[in-house]
Amino acid sequence: MPDDEDVAAALDSHLVGVGMWGTVYTAANGPRCYRLIPNDHLDAGGRAGLHELRARPRRPGVAPVIRHLAGDQQEIGRQWFQVVCYELAADWSLADSLASPHPIRRLTDMAVVLRAVPGWWARAAGFLPTPSDIAFTHRTPQLLVVPRWGVPSLRALFMAPERICYLAPQLLLGVRDDSGRAEDMYALAVMSLRCFARLPSWEPGELMARAACSALYSSDRCESRLPSWMRRLEAVRQALAAIDALLAHDPSARATMAPTDLADLLERCVEEMDPVATVAALRAQGRAKEAMELARTVLIDDPSYELLLLAAAIAVDELGNPLEGLELLERAVLAEPRRREALRRAVRAGARLQGGGHGPAGRGRRPLLRATPRRQRPARLRPAFPARAAGRRSRPGPLPSRQGRRAQGQQTRLHLAARRRHADVVAVRPDDRLRRDVPAPRQDQGGQGAGRQDQGRPDQDA
């Protein structure tokens, strides 16, 4: 096979990926996509099917096949290829979407593709797609269709083992459905699984054996691509359960589940993957503790400004934990110094902490921090520095009441317990400016004599 540089020079194109038949490229200039198939992979019947595709009328959602100006067969890198030319200006492909690090983009594009599948079945059933066979134009999926050639040859599968991943076990065993929809649903289920997890890689021989035995993919055998808090969502669990049913050896689930049903599950995942909306919904339902636990988990991976403000409001208003609320507001101020909302809320939370009445747990309580009452004397009779002017030590203010001390200790214990629960997952990196090189203590030659001398010395820190 020629390398990408030879193909780019011959067709002025860029590589998209491996299709079920051939390799897909997109033109650098002009609305063209190409599929290069080695000549020895096609027979006379396969080439006749390409001529029939060119004669068909244009159909929505299906890229039209046209004749290549340089000829249908072209020699590239000392090898002859059948060039299938599509008149399509592709913005990106489904392979690009599934390779994205953002789960919302992966799920959104995959849901759009699933909703287009019924229309494709009405025009070209049994197309056996791979992610490279589906392109997007103005956010509309377009199928790079080929004739219904069936499964590629064993040589073609071993040249590009990625094709084996999208073949149903029945196809590898030589059994095929007449409509081809069950096999298409298996390929679409594998693409949907890639939105949530990374597919394991094996050697082509082992991959073929596992795929034939239907022991290739499932949600519990693949490494997840989602953050820890997204895996706990109920919509994600339901979508993975539906995908596992589609990937099972029994094709009955693939024949009964519609692609639009799977698209609904993916779109529900997208809705719940907005952390601010999910936490706000739990708060509105009166599930403040669950909302706060979810917010703490999300803030480990995604400490956004809006989520910090929402979590601080829940901690102060619903849970009665102003210390944690102040800490969250401080993180928000440090994250977005130019935005003043977090600073204003921190000032109000501090005032409520000093004045009492913070949330349902603190209503009716005395202030946790009591200011020292000033003496009611005229300003002209009160010196600027009373303690220093009188020559005596200043008297401390009155301590908080027993109820105030008890509430203060309870809030402090709750705050420290919450921080200890997340200490194993949050790695706080100390500031380099706060680091100090502490020299090792010097030991005198006398040893024990120095220790006795230190014992008799009073503790200055005390």
**Total number of residues shown for the chain:** 462
Find which of 333-342, 417-426, 438-447 is predicted with most confidence, using mean pLDDT.
Answer: 333-342
Look at residues 418, 374, 421 and name the one whose alpha carbon lies nearest to residue 398.
374
Instruction: Output the pLDDT for position 421.
Output: 61
Lowest mean pLDDT among 45-49, 174-178, 260-264, 329-333: 174-178
Choose between 308 and 71: higher pLDDT: 308
Q: Residues near 346 by Cβ (< 8 Å), separated by ≥ 6?
A: 326, 329, 330, 333
Q: Where in the chain is the domain with CATH 1.10.510.10?
A: 4-272
Please list the residues that pair with 37 across neighbouring strands: 82
Domain 4-272 fold: Transferase(Phosphotransferase); domain 1 (1.10.510)
**Amino acid letter, residue 172:** L
Where does 274-361 sit in CATH, by number? 1.25.40.10
Give the pLDDT confidence of 211-265 residue by residue, as tens digits.
888 767 777 778 889 988 888 888 999 999 999 999 887 777 788 889 999 999 9
Contacts of 240 (CB under 8 A, 6+ apart): 193, 196, 219
Compare 429 and 462 and report the one with higher pLDDT.
429
The pLDDT score that the predictor gives to residue 262 is 95
When comparing pLDDT for 180 and 110, which is higher? Answer: 110
| Single-letter residue type at 377 | R
The beta-strand segments (E) located in 217-312 are 223-224
Range name among 123-132, 134-143, 250-259, 390-399 with the lowest pLDDT average: 390-399
Please state, in angstroms and rounded to a whole number, the distance separating the CA atoms of residues 223 and 206: 19
The predicted structure's pLDDT at residue 239: 95
The residue ranking higher by pLDDT, 233 or 362, is 233
pLDDT digits (tens, 9 = 90+) for 313-358: 998 888 888 888 888 988 888 888 888 888 888 887 777 666 554 4
| Residues of the chain above pLDDT 70, percent | 75
CATH 1.25.40.10 residue window(s) in the chain? 274-361
pLDDT > 80? residue 381: no
Q: Averaged over 301-310, what is the pLDDT?
A: 88
